[in-house]
Structure 1
Amino acid sequence: MTVAAESPRTTPESLSEEVVSAYRRDGFVHLPGVISRADAARFAEAALAARNTVRDHHDGMIFTQLLQLWRHDETLRELTLNPDLAAIAGRLAGIPLRLWHDQLLIKEPHNGAATEFHQDQPYWPHAGSRHALSAWIALVDVPVDRGCMTFIPGSQHLDGLRSQDLSDHADMFTVAPELQWEQRVTVPLRAGDCTFHNSRLAHSATPNLTDDPRIAHVVIYVDADLTLEAEPAHPVTDPLGLTAGRPLPDEHFPPFQ
């Protein structure tokens, strides 16, 4: 049996200024080994168990989405609040950050559906945000045929767009037709690898054509000083009865130092 080699590890101390500059230029960066393969396997096991027990989830053709794992599962809380992961995010963003939410995104075997190009930011009720970014952590190997990510470098500069339909391959290019001809970069990941991407970067994911689930844990970091807007509606903030124009409360959206 062939065992996949461990990826080189990425830590806050090993993160170079060249990598930080590349992230700020392109809107994304691929970092190998943010967690070990052994930890990735442990978190993947917890993720599959959470799929059967956590109530805050959405089952769709494109993926199964489970929200707020850090509030439900001690093992996945460890990953969401990982201080090294947060420190890397802080270096890339260059501002103090807090947690917006985490989510598991599981593409079931042979799901047959791509996650079409979209930005994340239009879905979030944020005001005055200087920067937001997501850490997309592969808990299993994610080659192209299992649902890895594709990015359009530099597209994070597009602001003020409406939300895009994740099931419509043409919708992103309807609101931003200039992106149709831009370079696209597809990034397969080993278990334990991570991509960070800007909340306004256009990105997609391929269908899962394999016999195994694609399991990704996503931690979303936002400007620690942003305030809440009334719209759009959001499943994380709506049940909390928060007031528009106020900062996010630390107990629900913990800040990172």
Structure 2
Amino acid sequence: MTSTTEHPRTSPGTLTDEQVARYRRDGFVHLPGVVSRPDAARWAKAALAARERLADHHSGAAFTQLLQLWRHDEELRELTLHPGLAAIATRLAGVPLRLWHDQLLIKEPHNGAATEFHQDQPYWPHTGSRHALSAWVALVDVPAERGCMTFIPGSQRLTGLRAQDLTDRDDLMNLAPELRFRPRVTVPLRAGDCTFHDSRLAHTATPNHTDDPRVAHVVIYVDADTRLAPEPAHPVTEPLGLAPGDRLPDAHFPRLGPAPR
């Protein structure tokens, strides 16, 4: 029997105060249908084509990572600069935002490797940022067995940690043992759904146990007033000749979204 129930959609106009409050409390929020299923399918096709011609920035088995799609692919640029995504991100963050970078994260079929618990923020050379968050857009259906994400609600309040090893399931837990017994929330997504998560929220993704690739497009937003920190080195800033303390230039990190409420 085929369901005739329409999959719900989310837009900046339908985003509720309760969803914003939930994001700020838990560090993440699941929003259904931020992009339409036909658009998700179109962008999934573009993503798999990009995989064939762009360099992989990740050397492990957990996933393929392609960076800066908005500079290399016209179709995926449309998704990265999607005004609806940016408007939602701005309202959740409560500060003006700019693009840090985008990335495709593809888990190949039966890849056999988890992306272990980690925070994103320690990987980024940022200083003075009041908030940063990622929009993780599922371009295909991502049930639990295809490598959806699991979050530890409230863990975004844990600051000052070094970058964690994505291949070591105990690395973050050794740094912050209190996280071992915190409740965890696993969030399967349909194509077109999105999770927004705080840059310091602890999260993980299981291996892809299915016959099809898991395809996610991630747009990372950062406080528009962020300046470059001396470290760590990062591939999107290294070629630009910036000095510590410099503002992120608009040409490479465009301001996105409306002014926050």
Q: TM tier, shorter chain?
A: over 0.9
Q: Contact between 1:114 and 1:206, CA under 8 Å: does it hold in 2?
A: yes
- Please report the RMSD computed on the Cα atoms of aligned residues, expressed in angstroms: 1.3
1: CA distance between counterparts of 2:2 and 2:236?
Answer: 42
Which secondary structure state, in structure 2, belongs to the residue aligned with residue 235 of structure 1? coil
Alignment coverage as a number of residue pairs:
257
1: CA distance between counterparts of 2:19 and 2:236?
Answer: 32
Amino acid at match of 2:44: A
2: CA distance between counterparts of 1:99 and 1:92?
Answer: 15
CA offsets 1:77-98 (integer angstroms, 9 cap, x no match): 0000000100000000000000
Partner of 1:224: 224
> After the TM superposition, which residues 175-214 of structure 1 pair with which residues of structure 2 at under 5 Å, given as runs?
175-214=175-214
Partner of 1:130: 130
Percent identity of the aligned residues? 75
2: CA distance between counterparts of 1:184 and 1:2?
Answer: 32
Amino acid at match of 2:16: S
If the length of structure 2 is used for normalisation, what is the TM-score?
Answer: 0.96
Q: Kindly tell me: are residues 179 and 213 of structure 1, through their superposed partners in 2, closer, same or farther at Cα, counting changes over 3 Å?
A: same
Partner of 1:17: 17
- Structure 1's unaligned 5+ residue stretches are none
- Structure 2's unaligned 5+ residue stretches are none
1: CA distance between counterparts of 2:238 and 2:185?
Answer: 35
Q: CA offset at residue 4 of structure 1?
A: 8.9
> After the TM superposition, which residues 84-99 of structure 1 pair with which residues of structure 2 at under 5 Å, given as runs?
84-99=84-99
Which secondary structure state, in structure 2, belongs to the residue aligned with residue 174 of structure 1? helix
Amino acid at match of 2:206: T
Q: Kindly tell me: are residues 6 and 240 of structure 1, through their superposed partners in 2, closer, same or farther at Cα, counting changes over 3 Å?
A: farther
2: CA distance between counterparts of 1:55 and 1:173?
Answer: 31
1: CA distance between counterparts of 2:47 and 2:57?
Answer: 12
Amino acid at match of 1:142: V
2: CA distance between counterparts of 1:16 and 1:50?
Answer: 35
Which secondary structure state, in structure 2, belongs to the residue aligned with residue 21 of structure 1? helix
Amino acid at match of 1:174: N
Q: CA offset at residue 6 of structure 1?
A: 4.7
Which secondary structure state, in structure 1, belongs to the residue aligned with residue 58 of structure 2? strand
